[in-house]
Structure 1
Amino acid sequence: MQIKMIGIDHSKSPLQYREKVAFSTVRNIEFLNILKQEENILGGVVLSTCNRTEIWISYKDKLENEIDSILCKFKNINLYEYKKYFTYREDKEAIEHLFMVSSGLKSKILGEDQIITQVKNAVEISRESDFLNTTLDVLFRNAITASKKIKTQIKFKKGSFSVVDSVIKKLEKLNINVKDKSCLIIGNGEMGRLASEIFIKNGANVTMTLRQHHKGDVVIPVGVNIINFSDRVEVLPKFDIVISTTSTNRYMLKYEDVVKVKLKEKVVFIDLAVPRDIDEKIFSIKGTIGFNIDDFQIEENEINSFNETIERTKEILNEYIDNFYKWYYNKDLITNIFEISQKVADDTILRINKLVDDNTKNIVEKSSKKSIEKLIFCLRDNMKPRDFKNFMNILEKNYLNEDI
């Protein structure tokens, strides 16, 4: 099928390796432009989240350069060192993996909602970069549609999850009640807004940083206070909980800055960013407790409670996977279907040409064409690909290769 995927994720790679391969939106676009220059690569999508970076390509013939070497050169990292953390998938395995990822079945927090938006955003970046070919477009569209259907029709026994929900649960287990606590969120992107909403829902008093030049451009969740991003270190003494969620490549909180301010007696630092936002040396400051993204996941003893839900989820995924396969294996026949339907319509008009007026002829032509298309597409969706190709060969011989 000539679809490839290379990925690095939480199941195989430590955070310090994942963060070196993570992409911001700007770097995503830059990398897609690099891939565009590669001979035989027809399209690409880069999915970069807190827990994974995955690169998908559609190609023809043989690749001159493998994706892992292109990636490592772009990121200025050693291929030999990283190869053991990469996962390589092709064709059927790659396709089915994508559906599992977009539905949340591959997430650290099983069934999380956020992944659907992340997949949609990755596809949109490729589309805007003019690097989303038809095969990847149809593939990702089916995966996203399946995931939306799962979200609306299937409820996981413990509800829908995000990594922030897991943060709340972990704090509860440590007897840290967030109600009435002062919480600082560094970063106003999707993760920052989600963290704000969930902490407010749980009774916290939330303040979010906002860069001066972003004022008026960012939707701020109801009930959230705003401070200037540049004041983030200065205001730390006011807060019980500090959460950082940006997508930059440098620390938002440095040890040498934080150690100079007088923190509260007990402060929780939570770093949900990849690459990391908070210098982990800060976690050693007296009275502080710190976590990064790898500290949050579904409990192992809870997984069995999801078995029935997982099976129902896979049933929906398989339906849309089959839809993609039917489209892919027959995509070269679509033009012929339209040509055959037009030939049948022309044949019909010739037979009634002497009996009706021009207006009726037009109506009959359009109706017969649509009827034949509906019939052929119905057969395509209910036949094995090989049988359908044989069927189309018969029609082509009788309609496209002979004059009426």
Structure 2
Amino acid sequence: MQLLAIGLNHTTAPVEIRERVNFSPERIQAALHDLIERELAQEVVIVSTCNRTELYYGDKNNTAEVIITWLSHYHNIPYQQLQNHLYIYSQASAIRHLLRVACGLNSMILGEPQILGQIKSAYQVARAAGTTSRLLNKLFEHTFSVAKQVRTDTEIGSSPVSVAFAAVRLAQQIFGDLSTQSALLIGAGETIELAARHLHENRLGRMIVANRTVERARQLAKEFAGYAISLEEISLHLAEADIVITSTASPIPIVTAAEIKQAIKIRKHRPIFIVDIAVPRDVEPAAGELEDVYLYSVDDLNEVIQENLRSREQAALKAEEIIDTQVLHFISWWNSLDTIELICHLRERAQDNRHRVVNKAKRMLDNGKSPYEVVDYIAHTLTNTLMHSPCAQLRQAGYDGRDDLVTAARQLFQLPDNT
């Protein structure tokens, strides 16, 4: 059985190609079944996200070219155009690649944790579709175990390296438990959506979403059990917010220092943590001079991010060492499969011989033979049966000058070296 990983990602293909090769969730099961039914793979898992599409498959005969041809036809992309963006890994390299992806070492943001959940989902879909067996089941379970070890034994995921994540982590440092805090998110773009997700995952108590288009604010707020307001209503709700994260495309400030000063007064000087990610800025810089206001700009966060990125790069070196060791462990298990099958065949043969000899011995007892004679028959027959083939092969090996077989026999049967 050969193991192959074929795919493309944000480093090998532009978004236009990644979009065309992407498998939507509702199409993955059909694609998996198509590969199996066409006998292009014996086992297969498809991982498809916005930044990568990868196929991990095991098969005894088919080559990477067969899968690339299938991908080309399935997504209606010329073979050569597709091939230019693909990477192909086999055996140990495929194992190492999957481990690196799962640990966030192959991501756009080093160490990001979301990819592990996406891989787990892809594996569950393949298992439900019945397209995994012993090799891929073992590989993906091993992958999840290694990813957990890397997260536990290194600092690869402890330091935020995205603006949204850094903003939420700073909020945690200031307030500790977020379950009793309220957040006002201004804007509804990708960064605000990601910040909302991080806040929700950290059990934020209450969320308000403000946006120029209120309907878009409602969509985002509904996803995270919050409520929506317009930009014009911000001043009415500012005093409710312990945390303010803002990222709009407004050319002028949306929140003034005067409004924040009034909010602080209403809050009886309970602090407000504000992260202004927008460029141009959404919050008047003078607000940062107010007491009980912690105002951070995107430049402030970038300093945090760069420092944390250096920390992750150091952690990544340790993670790579863990992965190298775990690749060897998996290869050792994989190599043992043939030996296990050989042992099973050997035991089956021994059991067949035992049944045959025991049945003959029972008939001998039924016919009046003495127990001593029957025991002697059993010992003599089993010994001859077990030793006949090895002795014949060793004799032939001696004739043929096969010293390797003779040496292996000494080791296998723990015989003394008579040289």
TM-score range for the pair, normalised by the shorter chain length: 0.5 to 0.7
Deviations 1:144-190 (A, max 9, x none): 11001111232238625568527989xxxxxxxx963334479xxx9
User: How far apart in 2 are the matches of 1:331 and 1:159?
Assistant: 40
Structure 1 residue 45 displacement after superposition: 0.9
Superposed, 1:120-139 pairs within 5 Å as: 120-139=120-139
User: How far apart in 2 are the matches of 1:239 and 1:60?
Assistant: 64
Contact 2:113–2:157 (CA under 8 A) maintained in structure 1:
no
- Which residue of 318, 328, 332 corresponds with 2:334? 328
Structure 1 residue 266 displacement after superposition: 6.8
User: How far apart in 2 are the matches of 1:163 and 1:47?
Assistant: 26
User: How far apart in 2 are the matches of 1:76 and 1:267?
Assistant: 47
Residue 273 of structure 2 corresponds to: none
Secondary structure of the 1:41 match is: coil
Structure 1 residue 340 displacement after superposition: 7.2
| 1:318 is aligned to 2:328 | no
Structure 1 residue 202 displacement after superposition: 12
Secondary structure of the 1:209 match is: helix
Corresponding letter in the other structure for 2:91: D
Contact 2:21–2:75 (CA under 8 A) maintained in structure 1:
yes
Using the size of structure 1 for normalisation, the TM-score is 0.56
- Which residue of 219, 228, 233 corresponds with 1:209? 219
Structure 1 residue 47 displacement after superposition: 0.8
User: How far apart in 1 are the matches of 2:88 and 2:77?
Assistant: 18
Structure 1 residue 225 displacement after superposition: 2.2
Using the size of structure 2 for normalisation, the TM-score is 0.54
Structure 1 residue 115 displacement after superposition: 1.3
Contact 2:3–2:59 (CA under 8 A) maintained in structure 1:
yes
Contact 1:111–1:160 (CA under 8 A) maintained in structure 2:
no
Residue 186 of structure 2 corresponds to: 182
Superposed, 1:150-229 pairs within 5 Å as: 150-156=150-156, 159=159, 164-165=164-165, 180-184=184-188, 194-195=197-198, 197=200, 205-206=208-209, 209=219, 221=224, 224-225=225-226
Contact 1:104–1:115 (CA under 8 A) maintained in structure 2:
yes
Residue 55 of structure 2 corresponds to: 55
User: How far apart in 1 are the matches of 2:163 and 2:44?
Assistant: 27
Report the RMSD for the aligned CA atoms in angstroms: 4.6
* Inter-CA distance 157–191: structure 2 relative to 1 (3 Å threshold): closer
Where in structure 2 are there 5+ consecutive unaligned residues? 170-181, 210-216, 235-248, 255-280, 283-301, 359-404, 414-419
Secondary structure of the 1:85 match is: coil
Corresponding letter in the other structure for 2:197: L
Equivalences, count? 281
Contact 2:43–2:57 (CA under 8 A) maintained in structure 1:
yes
Residue 175 of structure 2 corresponds to: none
Secondary structure of the 2:105 match is: coil
* Inter-CA distance 122–237: structure 2 relative to 1 (3 Å threshold): same
Structure 1 residue 38 displacement after superposition: 2.7
**Bigger Cα Rg:** 2
Residue 24 of structure 1 corresponds to: 24
* Inter-CA distance 396–158: structure 2 relative to 1 (3 Å threshold): closer
Corresponding letter in the other structure for 2:321: E
Residue 251 of structure 1 corresponds to: none
Deviations 1:271-319 (A, max 9, x none): xxxxxxxxxxxxxxxx99xxxxxxx9x9788654434311221222223
User: How far apart in 1 are the matches of 2:226 and 2:205?
Assistant: 16
| 1:306 is aligned to 2:312 | yes
User: How far apart in 2 are the matches of 1:84 and 1:95?
Assistant: 22
Question: Higher RCO, 1 or 2 (CA under 8 Å, sep at least 6)?
Answer: 1
Return the structure number with greater helix share.
2
Residue 375 of structure 1 corresponds to: none
Where in structure 1 are there 5+ consecutive unaligned residues? 170-177, 228-234, 241-262, 269-286, 289-295, 351-389, 399-404
User: How far apart in 2 are the matches of 1:267 and 1:26?
Assistant: 43
Contact 2:45–2:57 (CA under 8 A) maintained in structure 1:
yes
Secondary structure of the 2:53 match is: strand
Corresponding letter in the other structure for 1:317: I
Corresponding letter in the other structure for 1:209: Q
Superposed, 1:4-403 pairs within 5 Å as: 4-39=4-39, 41-63=41-63, 66-156=66-156, 159=159, 164-165=164-165, 180-184=184-188, 194-195=197-198, 197=200, 205-206=208-209, 209=219, 221=224, 224-225=225-226, 303-337=309-343
